[in-house]
Every structure is written in C-alpha cells, then in structure tokens.
C-alpha cells in the first residue's frame, strides 16, 4: 500500500518530473504491486485448493500478458487499461470466491467481526465501480477528456474513500481483536 501512496503522491506533486511526457509508467508499475499484494492477501484467506491454484496461475501468467501488452498493444508509457481490466476482473472473481467460501462454511462467523470481510468488501465495491470507467477510459480520453477527468476526480475519488474506509474498519477490527486476545 505504501507503493500506491507514493505513486498517488507523485501524480499530485510530480516528484519525478518529466517534460511533456506521460507519467503513466508509474501507475503501470504500481498496479503490478497492487495485484500481487492482493493475490498474496487472498492466498492467505482463501481455503479451497482450487482457489489457491487460480491465484498461482494469475501470478505467473500476468507478467507474461503485461510484457506482451507493453511491447505490442499498449506501450509502457500509456496506462495499460486492458491488462488493468483483466486484473480488476481477477480481483472481483477472488472477492466472489471469498464470499462463496464464507457462505458455504460449516461454521457461522459474525461478518462484522472479520477484518478480511471488510477489506474484501471495500475492494469489491471499488473494483465493481471502477471497471465500467476503465472499459470506457480510452474512448473518454480521446473524445470527452473533461468528462473523463470529472469521472476520475469525483467517482473514483468517492470509490477510493469508500474502499479505504472499509479497509480502516477492517484494520481497526483486527487491532481490537488482538487487544481482546
């Protein structure tokens, strides 16, 4: 998450200035860390072997797909919307697999007391909300740049607030759980 913070701050304060060049390459690198971080997170919380196999396949296949995309479809200096959408779909699937495991579990768990439930739910809300925007991003940037900028500022900003609020609730639950133990 610290990598995401640095990249977001760079986009705002321009720590790595470039003259008339795109800074999308920083986001391309950050999203790789992001998908790998969440892959590790889901690998820890998912129990079914088939779900863990899916994570292993993604971890090995994603860099290959990225390299192909960076050298053929979308260059590294352009935001990699296609592979990013693939990563978001992957995260949505992992969230749904987590919910399925919760639903089919033998024992009932109080969801509000599970830190991982809050984190997965925040991630799910963000990905489901952002995916339609990502699907239209290239078109919006080409034909309706101002609309794209408003979407990014207000809709994605709101989704980020909701996601990080849920992450915070989850982390507060985990520290509360540790203090009670």
**How confident is the model at residue 21, as a pLDDT?**
59
pTM over the 0.75 mark: yes
For residue 44, CA distances in Å to 40, 47, 106 come to 6, 8, 19
Q: Which of 42-46, 69-73, 118-122, 128-132 has the lowest mean pLDDT?
A: 69-73
Write the CB contacts of 175 (distance below 8 Å, at least 6 apart in sequence): none
pLDDT tens for each residue of 102-158: 999 988 888 888 999 999 999 999 999 999 998 988 888 889 888 888 888 888 889
DSSP letter at 163?
H
pLDDT band per the 50, 70, 90 thresholds, residue 7: very low
CA distance 125 to 163: 7
68 secondary structure, DSSP code = H
- Mean pLDDT calculated for residue range 77-98: 91
Q: How much of the chain, in percent, has pLDDT values that exceed 70?
A: 82
Return the SS3 of 49: helix
Q: How confident is the model at residue 25 (pLDDT cuts 50, 70, 90)?
A: confident
Q: Which of 1-5, 91-95, 105-109, 133-137 has the lowest mean pLDDT?
A: 1-5
Spans of all domains in the chain: 1-108, 112-181
> What pLDDT, on a 0 to 100 scale, did the predictor assign at position 2?
54
């Amino acid at each position: 998450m610290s990598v995401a913070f640095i990249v977001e701050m760079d986009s705002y304060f321009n720590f790595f200035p470039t003259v008339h060049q795109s800074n999308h390459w920083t986001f391309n690198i950050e999203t790789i860390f992001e998908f790998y971080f969440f892959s590790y997170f889901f690998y820890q919380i998912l129990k079914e072997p088939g779900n863990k196999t899916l994570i292993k396949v993604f971890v090995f296949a994603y860099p290959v797909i990225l390299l192909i995309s960076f050298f053929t479809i979308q260059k590294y200096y352009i935001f990699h919307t296609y592979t990013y959408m693939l990563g978001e779909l992957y995260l949505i699937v992992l969230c749904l697999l987590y919910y399925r495991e919760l639903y089919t579990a033998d024992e009932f768990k109080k969801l509000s007391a599970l830190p991982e439930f809050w984190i997965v739910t925040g991630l799910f809300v963000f990905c489901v909300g952002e995916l339609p925007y990502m699907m239209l991003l290239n078109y919006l940037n080409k034909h309706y740049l101002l609309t794209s900028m408003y979407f990014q500022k207000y809709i994605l900003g709101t989704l980020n607030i909701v996601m990080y609020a849920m992450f915070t609730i989850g982390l507060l639950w985990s520290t509360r759980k540790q203090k009670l133990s």
